[in-house]
């Protein structure tokens, strides 16, 4: 069995702030991390490896420094990893990203059993690339997986988290699945894992290496165009009461407003 996990390096968005003067992002010093949802996907893959001896390959697209997350995945137990890194990929929207990843997956193995994604990346929050790859690969799509059991004949039972509750589905591999947080608690890399990962070669492919159609990559292959960016509209907000030295004044203001608007109090 061969499981391919698509992973992404993202800025640790809890640490991004906005420059109050220029209203631009202050990215200096912001750490890059493995997208948390991808950690859960990787863990699901590693558990399949533990149980069934599957080969686990990770794939990412990003700048050369994204080899860091490939090595992190190797340290945790992935068998091999590929980074797609080329100027031709840059500026890709979700359609172009899904296409690029698909060309890499097909080169790694034209018929993998399972392709896993985190349910979304925390920088773009679109959740669109996993479904896009399922279409490009022609594999069935299963989203928001919180539990996955695979039988020896390749049939699987999954629990998926829907808005109204949990749906239990049955199907047969291959499939593309996206994974939610509840699916698995990620393991830590062991020291031996890090030592191995540090020495392991990380394969880096350019667009030429995957044989992708250049017209479908990067900016050229992206139907969506960002035409403007702007800081979020500055709202003036309402009244502010400084209750730092006098909590009672703050409480009185809240109770008065709730009474006025008939919210929870008569």
Partner 1 sequence: MADAPIFIDPEKCKGCTKCVNNCPFGALSMETRPERKQKLAVVDGGACRACNKCVTSCPFKAITMVETEKSGVSDLAAYKDIWVFAEQDGGKVLDVAFELLATGRKLADKRGCRLCAALLGHNLGDEPKRLIAGGADVVYVADQPELAQYEANVYTEALSKLIEEHKPEVVLAGATGVGRAFFARVATRCRTGLTADCTRLEIAPSPDGKTMLLHQTRPAFGGNIMATIMTPDHRPQMSTVRPKVFKKAEPDFSRKGEIKPEVLELAKACTRLVKAIRDPNAVNIQDASIIVAGGRGLKKAENFALCEKLAKMLGGVVGCSRACVDAGWIDVAHQVGQTGKTVCPKLYLACGISGAIQHLEGMKSSDTIIAINSDPNAPIFGVADLGIVGDVFEILPQLIAALEKETAKQEGR
Told to check if 122 binds partner 1 by CB under 8 A, we report yes
Closer Cβ to partner 1, 192 or 229, answer by number = 229
Q: Which of residues 57-116 bind partner 1 (CB under 8 A)?
A: 63, 87, 90-91, 93-95, 98
Query: What tokens does 95 get?
Result: 């359609």
Q: At its nearest, how many Å lie between partner 1 and the CB of residue 263?
A: 4
43 is written with which tokens? 């863990």
Q: In this structure, are residues 176 and 186 in contact, taking their beta carbons and an 8 Å threshold?
A: no
Contact 122, 16 (CB under 8 A): no
Closest distance between partner 1 and the C-beta of residue 104, in Å? 16
Q: Which of residues 26-55 bind partner 1 (CB under 8 A)?
A: 27-28, 36
Instruction: Give residues with Cβ within 8 angstroms of 217, minimum separation 6.
Output: 88, 89, 92, 96, 99, 100, 207
- Tokens (6 digits) for 220: 């050229």
Cβ closer to partner 1: 1 or 25? 25
Q: Are 6 and 66 in contact (CB under 8 A)?
A: no
E strands in 88-217 = 114-118, 141-150, 155-161, 166-172, 175-179, 203-205
| Residue 118 found at the interface with partner 1 (CB under 8 A) | no
Of 124, 154, 194, 203, the one binding partner 1 by CB under 8 A:
124
Give whichever of 7 and 95 is closer to partner 1, judged by the CB atom: 95
170 contacts partner 1 (rule: CB under 8 A): yes
CB of residue 262 to partner 1, shortest distance in Å: 9
Q: Please return the burial class of 191, using the count of CB atoms within 10 Å of its CB with bins 0-12, 13-18 and 19+.
A: exposed
DSSP annotation of 215 = G
State yes or no: residue 168 binds partner 1 (CB under 8 A). Answer: yes
Min CB(50)–partner 1 separation in Å? 24
Among residues 131, 147, 187, 209, the one that binds partner 1 under rule CB under 8 A: 131
């Amino acid at each position: 069995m061969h499981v391919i996990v698509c992973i992404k390096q993202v800025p640790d968005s809890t640490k991004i702030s906005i420059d109050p003067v220029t209203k631009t992002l202050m990215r200096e010093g912001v750490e890059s991390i493995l997208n948390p949802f991808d950690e859960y996907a990787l863990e699901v893959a590693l558990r399949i490896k533990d149980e069934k001896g599957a080969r686990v390959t990770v794939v990412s697209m990003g700048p050369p420094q994204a080899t860091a997350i490939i090595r992190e995945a190797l340290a945790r137990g992935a068998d091999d990893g590929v980074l797609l890194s080329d100027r031709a990929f840059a500026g890709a929207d979700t359609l172009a990203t899904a296409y690029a990843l698909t060309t890499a997956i097909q080169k790694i193995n034209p018929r993998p059993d399972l392709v896993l994604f985190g349910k979304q990346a925390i920088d773009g929050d679109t959740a669109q690339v996993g479904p896009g790859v399922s279409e490009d690969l022609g594999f069935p799509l299963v989203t928001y997986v919180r539990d996955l059991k695979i039988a020896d004949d390749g049939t699987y039972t999954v629990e998926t988290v829907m808005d109204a509750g949990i749906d239990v589905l049955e199907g047969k591999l291959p499939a593309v699945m996206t994974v939610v947080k509840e699916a698995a608690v990620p393991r830590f890399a062991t020291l031996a894992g890090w030592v191995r990962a540090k020495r392991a070669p990380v394969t880096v492919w350019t667009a030429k290496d995957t044989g992708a159609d250049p017209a479908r990559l990067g900016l050229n292959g992206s139907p969506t165009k960002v035409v403007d960016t702007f800081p979020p509209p500055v709202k003036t907000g309402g009244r502010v009461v400084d209750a730092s030295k006098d909590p009672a004044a703050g409480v009185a203001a809240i109770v008065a407003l709730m009474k006025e608007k008939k919210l929870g109090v008569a």
